[in-house]
Amino acid sequence: MSAADSNPFNPRIIAGLIVAGIIGFVGFWVLTAFTPELGNGRNAQAHALSRSAVGFAGVVELAKAGGAPITVLRGASAGVPGADDSEFGGLMVLTPLIGTTRAQIDERIGDFAGSVLIVLPKYLTGPALTGRDRVMRMGDVPDTVTAMLDSNVEGKSVTFLANRGPAGQAQVATRLWDEDAVTLRLPGQLQGIVQHDGAGMRPLITVGTRIIVAELPGRGSTYVLSDPDLINNLAMADDARAASAYALLTALAGPGEPIGFDVTMNGLGSGGRSLLRMAFVPPFLGLTMCLLAGGLFALWQGFVRFGPPWREARRVALGKAGLVANGAALIVQARRVPHFAARYGAMVREAAARRLHAPSALSGSALDIWLDRFADGNGRRFSEILSRLEIAQTAGECVEGAAALVQWRKDVLRDSE
């Protein structure tokens, strides 16, 4: 192996690491922005994608196996696929979290015209250490969890409370919508609802004084299921309870009606608004790509420089040459060049008189006549050149006259400058 191949700072290796870092950085933020709809829902919570004991993935799979048109809703807009073409508008099942308010439920329902089933939470759970599909019970939800159902009927506030205790019976039979009787297999510890003031909720299935399924006031065809153990994965462990869960869902929805389990209220929906997500969807996706391309071009320029680095020059140059150049620039900028022509001619006259030892009594035009005895290589006389310089009106004429005077000085006085 050569020394070049073993060099850890090989340009190709460094370039590969940078490219991998950029792809990883962009990929991380893209996955972060789209985590809700990309997640598989296996977080040990109570929703339709969870395979834990409190989840509802079992009844979804059971309904699909039974031929029922059931889907998991990840879209932020309300609606069940196929509901518009059905007779009763389908059934949307909501599995809200603890602390969900009635306003949040109403916002999720939106303009959905079909039936809605709200399944109340029952347990406080956390993920078990043995696996993410297992949960560990940490207690029961507070009785006030039913606050998400509170409403106002005819100006009167209606409140409900949860009641938990032994079911007292193994099953209960009821008939919904004049259909066949539905037999519910009850769990050992049953959670029901007790309504205060005796108004507001229309019971559909009761066990003693506890309401198990009821229609809520304030919106037609909105139902509440008090105990999730009637349809969650715990119920799937027993064939009779699984059949009971399937029968309850299809009875509430209606024959052949589509059913949709919502997971957007559990943080697994798509279409939510966030600054990070907006950066990766139109119309801001184009801007993000432009910024990314600009960053890549800037990085490329850092590796491949076009020519030597350019260093900015001083605004005011140092030394005599800089002083002369700056002074000349100021004269040109002020448009005062013609005013300096006569002065330059007088300066050359004095220098020539001193170098040629002209009589000290001569000055002005008399001195010019005396200097006319000396001509340059082109035969031009001093007074002729000086007169052209003195009548110059433009910068170009001044430069031509000054150049002719410089040439006369070089030829006559033998100056090198």
Query: Over the stretch 151-186, which tens digit does the pLDDT of each residue have?
Result: 654 545 556 677 777 877 888 888 776 667 788 888
Of residues 218 and 380, which shows the higher confidence score?
A: 380
Say if strands 151-153 and 156-158 run parallel, antiparallel, or are unpaired. Answer: antiparallel
- 407 shares a domain with 348: yes
Q: Is residue 34 part of a domain?
A: no
- 213 shares a domain with 324: no
pLDDT band at 132 (very low <50, low <70, confident <90, very high): low
Angle between helices 341-356 and 382-390 (to 10 degrees): 160
Q: Is residue 18 part of a domain?
A: yes
Number of domains in the chain: 3
Look at 25-34, 158-167, 272-281, 318-327 and tell me which has the smallest mean pLDDT: 272-281
Is the pLDDT assigned to residue 37 strictly greater than 70?
A: no
- 208 shares a domain with 69: yes
The residue behind tokens 């949040």 is 104
Q: Is residue 2 part of a domain?
A: no
* 72 CB-contact burial (10 Å; exposed 0-12 / middle 13-18 / buried 19+): middle
- 349 shares a domain with 280: no
Domain ranges, residue 295: 11-28+276-303
Q: Is residue 224 part of a domain?
A: yes
Q: Is residue 169 part of a domain?
A: yes
Per-residue pLDDT tens digits for 264-300: 888 776 655 566 667 767 777 788 888 888 888 887 7
d(CA 214, CA 216): 6
State the pLDDT at residue 7: 63
Q: Which two tokens stand for residue 348?
A: 């050359």
DSSP class per residue in 114-176: SEEEEEPP-EEEEE-TT-TT-EEEEEEPPGGGGGGG-EEETTEEE-EEEEEEE-SSSEEEEE-
| Average pLDDT, rounded, for the chain | 79
Q: Is residue 4 part of a domain?
A: no
Give start and end residues of each alpha helix (H) in 254-381: 275-278, 285-303, 319-333, 341-356, 364-371
- 227 shares a domain with 109: yes
- Angstrom distances, CA of residue 123 to CA of 74, 261, 308: 24, 20, 70
- 178 shares a domain with 75: yes
Q: Is residue 343 part of a domain?
A: yes
Mean pLDDT over 63-80 rounds to 82
- 161 shares a domain with 48: yes
- 147 shares a domain with 111: yes
State the pLDDT at residue 139: 81
Is the pLDDT assigned to residue 367 strictly greater than 80?
A: yes
Look at 28-42, 82-96, 305-319, 324-338 and tell me which has the smallest mean pLDDT: 28-42
pLDDT band at 197 (very low <50, low <70, confident <90, very high): low
- 221 shares a domain with 289: no
Q: Is residue 36 part of a domain?
A: no
- 135 shares a domain with 92: yes
Angle between helices 395-413 and 341-356 (to 10 degrees): 10
- 87 shares a domain with 169: yes
Mean pLDDT over 78-94 rounds to 83
Closest to 149 (Cα-Cα) out of 206, 198, 201? 201
- 94 shares a domain with 73: yes
pTM of the model: 0.60
State the pLDDT at residue 117: 92
Whether 149 and 216 have beta carbons less than 8 Å apart is answered as yes
